[in-house]
Amino acid sequence: MRLTIEIDSGSGFCNGVVRAVRKAESYLSDHDRLYSLGAIVHNAQEIERLAAEGLQIIDIDRMASIRDDVVLVRAHGEPPATYELAQRNGITIIDCTCPVVLQLQKKIAATYRKVHAAGGTLVIYGKKGHAEVNGLVGHTEGNAVVVESISELDSIDFSKPVALFSQTTKDTEEYAALTEECRRRSQECSGKFESFNTICRQVAGRHAALASFAESHDVILFVSGRESSNGNVLYNLCRKHNPRTFWVENGQIPAGILHDGDSVGICGATSTPRWQLEELYIHLHNNIINKQ
């Protein structure tokens, strides 16, 4: 079969994940084990690779039973309560919170104090239960309202001050639409509304580039773990611009999707390591193009 294949140059780990993985690898080069509070990246194959080096994933309940040891905080960040627990238990934290997320946490904490004092609401646009979102909510004493769509705004009193933030990996167009709806409702109630552009610039820049990449190929093979929030956003973006977009997990390509002469684009989420994209490229060459 004749295929033209290209790997998206912008795909692969984001800077925050690269930093976390490198810190874990550096520590494990001199130690047999390292605890990670939650999965360091939402990618099963990468987790398996790091587990073989000694990385052990734990949850907050397990961390509560650990004493005088070392725990890695991943790029998603954590609420203040996690650091307080670490201090009580004599735990050394390897803090890999993404600098973008760290700035967002500080901004949310400062804004929450002002909005809360005025009887208003701090709203976070993000995936409920997502690690980054949980950390952000923790910086509002647990009082932020998390919304996933415009339909969830009805519970908010827009006659009082409202401040809107976004999870760093959300879609920029969706956030813009949510911002405009919040502004409209606030104006109708004569309330005060502020929105903050807190989507990561690296992530936002990838959206436009990935849309163009998807349109420039006949078929898109999107490589990501299904549990990745960013993966779901970028996969749907690719589907929007190219209906022949297919999710590839664990190297499994859906049968019958490739046609002779297709131009194939390979891309992935910010939680997809570059080596997985390259492995898929090699697999296509060895098992489809060169197979007679």
Of 291, 188, 273, the C-alpha closest to 7 is 273
Residue 84 bears catalytic tag: no
Closest CA to 50 of 30, 73, 74, 33: 33
Of the candidates 46, 78, 132, 194, the residue annotated as catalytic is 132
Alpha carbons 272 and 156: distance in angstroms, whole number: 36
Q: Which residues are catalytic?
A: 132
